[in-house]
Amino acid sequence: MKIFYSILLVLTTELLEINLLIVDECSRIHDFDVIILNNLSKVVIPELDGKIKGEAGKVAIIGGSIEYTGAPYFAAISALKVGADLVYVFTTENAAPVIKSYSPDLIVIPHNAINITSLLHSIHVVVIGPGLGRSTEGLNLAYETIRICKQFRKPLVIDADGLYAIYQNPVILKDYPSPGAILTPNNAEVRRLKQAVTESDIPWYKYWGDFVTVLQKGETDMYFSNNGDYDWSLHEGGSGRRTGGQGDILSGALGTLFNWGLKANLCENTKSAQLAQSVAAYAAAKFTRVCNSNAYKNHGRSMLASDMLNEIHKAFDELFL
């Protein structure tokens, strides 16, 4: 009995400390800075005790093609290793058995063999783009998914060839509803997106509405929220090694963290969803940089994306626990 009460006291104390931290950060949210971002990144991490399978997140990766099977794997396994309970990969019929062979932990489904609407209904966050390719089949899958997610108000992360789909048809994402979508372009993809949107007096990243935000990846990562309240930049960490697959690791991690940020209902106000987008994007960007930095220390120029996967546990503990 004494052990039980000791454990209860520890849990109660930890919960009180977290609640006080949230109150403190939310009271000064108008002075948004990296200190708030770092603290709230820790707050959104859910407890493991008392959970059932699925509560920590169901993430879907929409991507993969016969040419690109590694990208959806890196995104999916990262989402799973960061802490999602279930991760699905919806891909082409040819790519499915290849991706499935990489890991028995992933649920890999050919999209033409299922009713994608019924499956997406139970998903918490959808990541579109890793390895999707630019074929008509891939683009149509991206557009169909966006339309379904818009109807269900599903949180979206759009990366890689998902951004190419937006470049080809920018209107498809216009006025995407809360809790919104996060685009994760690199500098070259930003240039294409700027060319695609209608010219106006407003910044290009505001084209899609209040709940579509941009994490621009580069030597310095920059985040642009529609209202400007939760913008930030991040330069620390990482290395000069830009291995293929790093962006996929970020998008998968972001899928899990986005879900957690929304469930935390940060500051419990009308801007909670927009704040969750910013905090999740910051946490994912910093996390990916730490994975890259740690892997580079161990492997130098021979570092691969798979080496970064091996750093996920260490990076997670370093940043969030």
Binding site per annotation, positions for ATP? 217-221, 238-247
Q: Are 63 and 130 in contact (CB under 8 A)?
A: yes
- Per the annotation, where are the binding residues for (6S)-NADPHX? 131, 186-192, 248
> What Rg, from alpha-carbon coordinates, does the chain have?
19
Q: Are 182 and 277 in contact (CB under 8 A)?
A: yes
Q: Helix 272-299 and helix 246-263: axis angle, to 10°?
A: 140
- Per the annotation, where are the binding residues? 131, 186-192, 217-221, 238-248
- Write out the two tokens for 107: 């649920």
Candidates 101, 78, 95, 129; CA nearest to 306 is 78
Q: Are 208 and 198 in contact (CB under 8 A)?
A: no
CA dist 54 → 2, 26, 41, 83, 259 (Å): 32, 29, 21, 11, 12
Q: At which residue do the structure tokens 């209040």 appear?
A: 210
Q: Are 206 and 176 in contact (CB under 8 A)?
A: no
- Write out the two tokens for 14: 């930890």
Task: List phi, psi (to 5°) of 288.
Answer: -65, -40
CA distance 194 to 200: 11
- Write out the two tokens for 262: 């929304």
Candidates 229, 232, 202, 239; CA nearest to 216 is 232
Contacts 24+ apart (CB under 8 A), 104-108: 105/77, 105/80, 106/73, 106/76, 106/77, 106/80
| Coil vs helix vs strand at 16 | helix
